[in-house]
Chain A
Amino acid sequence: MIVAERKSIPELLDILAGHKNVLVLGCGTCVTVCLAGGEREVSIIASALRIASRTRGLGLNISELTIERQCDNIFIEQAAEAIEKADAVLSLGCGAGVQAIAERFGKKPVYAGLNTKFLGILEERGVWTEKCAACGSCVLHEYGGICPVTRCAKHMLNGPCGGSREDRCEVRPDRACAWQLIYQRLKNIDQLERLNKIELPKEWDSSLSGGPRVIIRQDHRI
């Protein structure tokens, strides 16, 4: 899922400066699961903005709404009336959600209320970790299902680097060495021979360095 983190209230007030009627718009998908932009967070941030507005005398009128998915026009339609009524939208969706809303409502200012961080998983209660860099050309099959592009601080395809201590990364000692994990995993599944292969430099043209990516499925187009 996409993992995001809230912006601070003073930061949001700066972003919203000059607007009076603001809609705080939540998203019921990834950012709900990572506790950043779901219905509950919409309620908390809207409350905090109202309190901040009253303590600072800003006169903000904050309304709230959460839709199932901000990155999908079918669901965006459900917010159309509320968005039309507001002067501006503070989207608590991920970066894709914010842009989807902005594209759909061309004349409405739409602002990001979250910082979109990474593609990750819920590791344990209250802890999310990055697992995928969306590089566009997956190599997980070569590394026992552990991504060196994302989880090795040096993105090494032919590791380990030699700097790790025990099973800890030398760049961030609080993190596991991805190559230690890869070795252990390949050993567990009897595929250690994969490590004998020298991996060639990765083709990065499928990544973001080639500009925004598009996938077209002709079989699904009308």
Chain B
Amino acid sequence: MSTNNTELTVVAFCCHYCAYAAADLAGSMRLQYPANVRIIRTPCTGRLEVEYFLKAFEHGADGVLIAGCEEGSCHFKEGNLIAKRRVSYARQYLKESGLEPERLRMVNVSSAMARQLTDHIKDMVETVRKLGPSPLHRATSLTQQEIRS
């Protein structure tokens, strides 16, 4: 994976009932958002575990965005609230491990909020761009360079 700023990767876990539908709507509305985002559909953000976020970073993500339903509107009542607490817990792990916690963020949108979702994505990509590539990339690139030399 490249360390070039234009090729940063943000993994977006999108809830099937809101953010994924909002992303679909964004497509229908021809709304533009950065191509850095890799969307993964999830049945509910409450299905996401702390290790999913850490594994995403381990496997090369520069940022991870969790997009769930608006608070109080979860299809499974409180999945998004569970996700919110897990994101907060995972951010603590990131901090302890030497990664900026800002690389992991949760946002809430409804299925009709295509524009807000694209704004959230743009903002997340911009945040990650400012932070630069994940230090894990740099570590990997260094190792590869060392191997080459």
Contacts and interface: CB of A to CB of B under 8 A. Distances in A.
Given A9-B93, A48-B93, A50-B58, A55 B50 contact: no
Contacts of A8: 96
B97 A9 contact: yes
Contacts, number: 47
B48 to A, nearest CB: 13
Interface string B124-149: 00000000000110011010000000
Contacts of B139: 54-55, 57
A31 to B, nearest CB: 16
A46 to B, nearest CB: 9
A206 interface: no
B100 to A, nearest CB: 10
Interface of A: 8-10, 40, 43-44, 47-52, 54-57
Interface of B: 49-51, 54-55, 57-58, 93-94, 96-99, 135-136, 139-140, 142
Leading 6 A-B pairs by shortest Cβ distance: A55-B98, A9-B96, A47-B54, A52-B97, A54-B139, A51-B97
Given A9-B96, A51-B99, 6 more contacts: A8-B96, A40-B50, A49-B97, A51-B58, A54-B135, A55-B99
